A and B are shown apart, each in its own frame.
Chain A
Amino acid sequence: GNSVTQMEGPVTLSEEAFLTINCTYTATGYPSLFWYVQYPGEGLQLLLKATKADDKGSNKGFEATYRKETTSFHLEKGSVQVSDSAVYFCALGAGSNYQLIWGAGTKLIIKP
């Protein structure tokens, strides 16, 4: 069946460090892929998405490329800020019922 695996957290980095959060998936067909972010005390919000192989989603300095050959959608940012501290969720959309399959989330902590 469809599934999403994210790297376990928490991930702790210093400000201005390079960030990678790994996400791999298992799915039949050609799923859509998403990254959502949850800031403390809030609901989730869409960060970026990609709908076909080799697409790159980007927003707020974050990027992720849909790699079908490695079934991956890793999240990257060149220089993180304290304000990026949050929980990041990878998700995929596949099948016909509009449901998303969610990863467990990765907590990111950025220290000044």
Chain B
Amino acid sequence: NAGVTQTPKFQVLKTGQSMTLQCAQDMNHEYMSWYRQDPGMGLRLIHYSVGAGITDQGEVPNGYNVSRSTTEDFPLRLLSAAPSQTSVYFCASSYQASGTYNEQFFGPGTRLTVL
């Protein structure tokens, strides 16, 4: 089991460029999510998905798009990068069961710098 994988590990973009952060999991988890981590602010939820074809916005969705065409993959797209999107991005997944909060498994993160 590879768990949750993310690519790339590091990325530098110029303002206005677009890119896609990749996330994949091999645990057959229904629930997947994207967070950004900024100093002193903990984790903030960007978008999440409760299954293939179903996505929803989190706390800070502006400037980001997601899709979930398969159970395994949950890419995050930056439409037009801005310096405010400089951050570390984490993808996470978990098994979903009604009425319970299960362990979230995290990828190693992508460190993004927007110049």
Q: Within the complex, which residue of A45, A93, A99 is in contact with B48, where a contact is CB–CB below 8 Å?
A: A99
Given A42-B108, A43-B106, A44-B106: A102 and B58 within 8 A (CB)? no
Count of A-B residue pairs with CB < 8 Å: 50
Residue of A nearest to B38 (CB): A104
Given A44-B90, A46-B104, A93-B101: A99 and B58 within 8 A (CB)? yes
Residue of B nearest to A34 (CB): B101
Kindly list chain B residues whose C-beta atoms are within 8 Å of the C-beta of A103: 42
Residue of A nearest to B99 (CB): A96
Q: Interface code A64-76, partner B: CB below 8 Å = 1, 0 otherwise? A: 0000000000000
Kindly list chain A residues whose C-beta atoms are within 8 Å of the C-beta of B25: none
Q: Cβ of A49 and Cβ of B94 under 8 Å apart?
A: no
Kindly list chain B residues whose C-beta atoms are within 8 Å of the C-beta of A46: 103-104
Q: Cβ of A98 and Cβ of B107 under 8 Å apart?
A: no
Within 8 A of A (CB), among B78-115: 90, 92, 94, 96, 100-101, 103-109
A102 vs B58: C-alpha distance when bound (angstroms): 13
A25 at the interface (CB under 8 A from B): no
Within 8 A of B (CB), among A38-65: 41-46, 49, 51
Q: Cβ of B103 and Cβ of A43 under 8 Å apart?
A: no
Q: Cβ of B107 and Cβ of A43 under 8 Å apart?
A: yes
A11 at the interface (CB under 8 A from B): no
Interface size counted on chain A using CB atoms at 8 A: 20
B40 at the interface (CB under 8 A from A): yes
Q: Cβ of B101 and Cβ of A100 under 8 Å apart?
A: yes
Q: Cβ of B94 and Cβ of A98 under 8 Å apart?
A: yes
* Chain B interface (Cβ < 8 Å from any Cβ of A): 4, 31, 33, 40-45, 48, 50, 56, 58, 90, 92, 94, 96, 100-101, 103-109
* Chain A interface (Cβ < 8 Å from any Cβ of B): 32, 34, 41-46, 49, 51, 89, 93, 97-100, 102-105
A sample of 20 inter-chain contacts (CB < 8 A) reads A42-B108, A43-B4, A43-B92, A43-B106, A43-B108, A44-B104, A44-B106, A46-B103, A49-B103, A51-B100, A51-B101, A89-B43, A93-B101, A97-B56, A98-B48, A98-B101, A99-B33, A99-B48, A99-B58, A100-B104
